[in-house]
């Protein structure tokens, strides 16, 4: 007797639910998307016990008549596609006709619906695939679907559900993903009779994001930058954070394609590249990206939950997203605005103890201890040999052939440039590490190492991409010892070392000597730098492409060549450093993404001194 049997339809639906319904949040997503496809302008989501007890979604969409309501919970029934040609031009969020049947197979479902021109509503109840007959009921136009006791007949699935709070976090995330792009909707989320969100269609996109993520817009509308591009058949709108606002993961990167939330590795890479050199590689910017393009230019039918798509020209999407974000970032002043902590007026509780004594005072003492320790460190740990900024950095002005544009990175010499001379000497250096400069509306605090590191990096990058670094032969070659593995690194990267202006030759058994070294790195110990460079090449060779490797090498060189914290600078050197800051691009952050400058406004100071 044969072993293969044909599964009954309810078993098929339960298996299908394993892909479509992962947890209560999956049900919320599918029902909200159905409401949007039905033309709803108001969606109310009610949850009990993290969705394990009840999920209710009510909308004011077009509704269903009795015949459609009975058919909607059959497998593969849909009003959104009718022919195979429709699959190449999907404009709705749902289209497969699997969701309702899958949900009804693993829970107790009641659906009530009414079309606008009908005088009555209809309802149907389904208990884990067992349908009852359609019956009349009372109700407003639109549809309400209630899902109770999810997985209650599937204990193996139900035991994998997390706590109510955890499941509610996932539901909230799905609600947010639908709420952000659909600004025409009134949306409400309620959990255990407590309102979590109430979003109005009168809110702008920024206001809606502020309501969903209150901590993101701490600086008001200016917290996120707005970028737009519309070309090559693609419209891109983006709200993106300055580098000063970043996260430890990419959870706050939301990408929407024609209103659909998606994950895409090409777009994620474009976002990362847009912030290269502005943000630490372990930090992630906040980005809300909205892409509009013809439906036939991508395939949405490649993932069970439709969260991934396949672009027919992924490289074009990547380049357009990168251009949109990068152009905005490069055209914006990204200096970090400092926030002066507000010290609240101390009050006493009923026992006469100052309010917040246990936390506020300890935090203040701890901060003061840290500040004192840093001050003491900078006083005691100065380099034994101080290399002057002017001897470390050789940067020249270069003009293009037309002469009407310049690609300047500052020109460092012992005589300051006119730009530096014209600057009023309204600055001081503190702890031989930070420069405070007066501005029109306050003052800025500059990390001298971070700023100079950016200046050196841009100079190195400009030169190495145009030709190679100018080198000079060392009067006394510096030698060092290498094992066989590191010696092979020198041979494998001979072209890169040549572009850097570094010449290394054998000098004996396992001994190598640096014969030539780049002029721009004057002041850097050649042997130490080369050994650090070899270690970098050995560690990163397997994980980085050639361009990323060159960038990592330039980061290392800039960090080594830049002035250090604890290094005393003359007034002339400080003037030149500040002059170069006005010329070089992206000086708001060092190549590793750390801020170089903190801005303090007079308004903040006056507020702290109670002058306003």
H/E/C letters for each residue in 278-329?
A: CECCCCEECEEEEEECCHHHEECCCCCCCCCCEECCHHHHHHHHHHHHHHHH
Question: DSSP per residue over 147-202, as a string?
Answer: EESTTTT-HHHHTT---HHHHHHHHHHHHHHHHTT-TT-EEEEEETTEEEEEE-TT
Q: What is the pLDDT of residue 156?
A: 78
Q: What is the pLDDT of residue 529?
A: 92
Quick: pLDDT tens for 252-275: 999 999 999 999 999 999 999 999
- Report the C-alpha gap between 518 and 392 in whole angstroms: 11
Quick: pLDDT tens for 18-54: 567 889 999 999 999 999 999 999 999 999 999 999 9
Q: Which helix (H) or strand (E) holds 230?
A: strand 224-231
Quick: pLDDT tens for 349-397: 444 434 444 444 444 445 555 555 555 544 444 443 333 443 344 444 3
Give me the long-range contacts of 302-309 (CB less than 8 A, separation at least 24).
304/19, 304/20, 305/19, 305/20, 305/22, 305/26, 305/29, 306/93, 306/94, 306/260, 307/261, 307/262, 307/263, 308/262, 308/263, 308/264, 309/257, 309/260, 309/262, 309/264
Average pLDDT on 388-413 reads: 38
**Residue 104, token pair as written in the block:** 């009804």
Q: Hey, is 557 helix, strand or coil?
A: helix
Q: What is the pLDDT of residue 153?
A: 85
8 A C-beta contact, residue 197 and residue 175:
yes
Quick: pLDDT tens for 436-456: 999 888 899 999 999 999 999
23 by Cβ neighbours in 10 Å (0-12 / 13-18 / 19+) ranks as: buried
**Residue 76, token pair as written in the block:** 């593969």
- Report the C-alpha gap between 47 and 313 in whole angstroms: 41
What is the DSSP code (8-state) at residue 609? T
278 by Cβ neighbours in 10 Å (0-12 / 13-18 / 19+) ranks as: buried
8 A C-beta contact, residue 25 and residue 174:
yes
Identify any residues that bridge with 66 across adjacent strands, giving them in sequence order: none
pLDDT band at residue 431 using 50, 70 and 90 as cut-offs: very high
**Residue 450, token pair as written in the block:** 């971070």
Please, what sign has the CA dihedral across residues 523, 524, 525, 526? Answer: negative
Quick: pLDDT tens for 161-174: 999 999 999 999 99
What is the DSSP code (8-state) at residue 354? B
Average pLDDT on 334-354 reads: 54
> Which residue in 23, 32, 17, 14 sits closest to 163, CA to CA?
23
- Report the C-alpha gap between 335 and 244 in whole angstroms: 8
Instruction: Using a pLDDT cut of 90, give the percent of the chain over it.
Output: 50
b/e map of 234-260 (b: 16 or more CB within 10 Å)? Answer: bebbbbbbbbbbbeeeeebbbbbbbbb
Whether pTM exceeds 0.95: no
Q: Which helix (H) or strand (E) holds 261?
A: strand 260-262
Domains of the chain in start order, with CATH, are 9-194 (3.30.565.10), 206-332 (3.30.230.10), 389-598 (3.30.1370.100)
Round the average pLDDT of the chain to a whole number and report it: 83
66-80, 132-146, 392-406: the lowest-pLDDT one: 392-406
- Report the C-alpha gap between 384 and 568 in whole angstroms: 12
């Amino acid at each position: 007797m044969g072993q293969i049997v044909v599964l009954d339809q309810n078993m098929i639906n339960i298996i299908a639910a394993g892909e479509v319904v992962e947890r209560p949040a999956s049900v919320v997503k599918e029902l909200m998307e159905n409401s949007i496809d039905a033309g709803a302008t108001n969606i109310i989501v009610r949850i009990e016990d993290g969705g394990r007890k009840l999920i209710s979604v009510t909308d004011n969409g077009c509704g269903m008549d009795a015949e459609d309501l009975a058919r909607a919970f059959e497998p593969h029934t849909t009003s959104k596609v009718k022919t195979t040609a429709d699959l190449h031009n999907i404009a709705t969020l749902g289209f497969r006709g699997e969701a309702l049947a899958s949900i009804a197979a693993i829970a107790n479902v009641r659906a009530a619906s009414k079309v606008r021109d009908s005088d009555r509503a209809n309802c149907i109840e389904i208990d884990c695939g067992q349908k009852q007959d359609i019956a009349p009921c009372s109700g407003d136009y639109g549809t309400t679907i209630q899902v109770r006791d999810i997985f209650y007949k599937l204990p193996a699935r139900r035991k994998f559900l997390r706590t109510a709070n955890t499941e509610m976090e996932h539901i909230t995330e799905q609600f947010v993903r639908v709420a952000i792009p659909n600004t025409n909707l009134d949306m409400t989320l309620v959990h255990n009779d407590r309102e979590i969100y109430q979003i109005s269609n009168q809110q702008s996109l920024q206001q809606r994001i502020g309501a969903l993520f209150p901590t993101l817009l701490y600086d008001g509308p200016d917290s996120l930058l707005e970028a737009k591009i519309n070309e090559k058949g693609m419209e891109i709108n983006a709200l993106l954070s300055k580098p000063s606002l970043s996260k430890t993961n990419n959870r706050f990167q939301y990408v929407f394609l024609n209103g659909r939330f998606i994950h895409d590795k090409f777009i994620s890479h474009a976002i990362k590249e847009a912030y290269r050199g502005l943000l630490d590689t372990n930090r992630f910017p906040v980005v809300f990206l909205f892409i509009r393009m013809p439906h036939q230019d991508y395939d949405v039918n490649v993932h069970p939950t439709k969260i991934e798509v396949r672009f027919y020209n992924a490289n074009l999407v990547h380049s357009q997203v990168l251009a949109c974000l990068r152009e905005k970032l490069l055209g914006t002043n990204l200096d970090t605005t400092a926030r002066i902590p507000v010290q609240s007026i101390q009050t006493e509780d009923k026992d006469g103890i100052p309010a917040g004594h246990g936390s506020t005072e300890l935090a203040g003492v701890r901060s003061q201890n840290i500040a004192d320790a840093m001050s003491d460190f900078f006083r005691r740990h100065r380099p034994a040999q101080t290399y002057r900024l002017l001897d470390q950095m050789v940067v020249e002005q270069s003009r293009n052939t037309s002469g009407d544009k310049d690609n300047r990175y500052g020109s460092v010499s012992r005589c300051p440039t006119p730009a530096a001379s014209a600057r009023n000497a309204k600055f001081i250096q503190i702890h031989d590490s930070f420069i405070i400069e007066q501005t029109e509306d306050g003052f800025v605090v500059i990390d001298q190492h971070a700023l100079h590191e950016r200046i050196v990096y841009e100079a190195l990058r400009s030169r190495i991409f145009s030709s190679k670094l100018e080198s000079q032969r060392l009067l006394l070659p510096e030698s060092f010892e290498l094992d066989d593995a590191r010696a092979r690194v020198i041979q494998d990267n001979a072209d890169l070392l040549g572009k850097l202006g570094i010449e290394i030759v054998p000098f004996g058994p396992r001994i190598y000597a640096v014969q030539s070294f780049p002029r721009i790195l004057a002041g850097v110990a050649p042997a130490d730098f080369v050994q650090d460079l070899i270690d970098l090449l050995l560690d990163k060779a397997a994980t980085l492409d050639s361009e990323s490797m060159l960038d990592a090498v330039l980061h290392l060189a800039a960090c080594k060549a830049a002035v250090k914290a604890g290094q005393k600078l003359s007034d002339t050197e400080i003037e030149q450093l500040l002059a170069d800051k006005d010329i070089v691009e992206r000086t708001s952050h060092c190549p590793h993404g750390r801020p170089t400058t903190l801005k303090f406004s007079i308004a903040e100071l006056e507020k702290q001194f109670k002058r306003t």
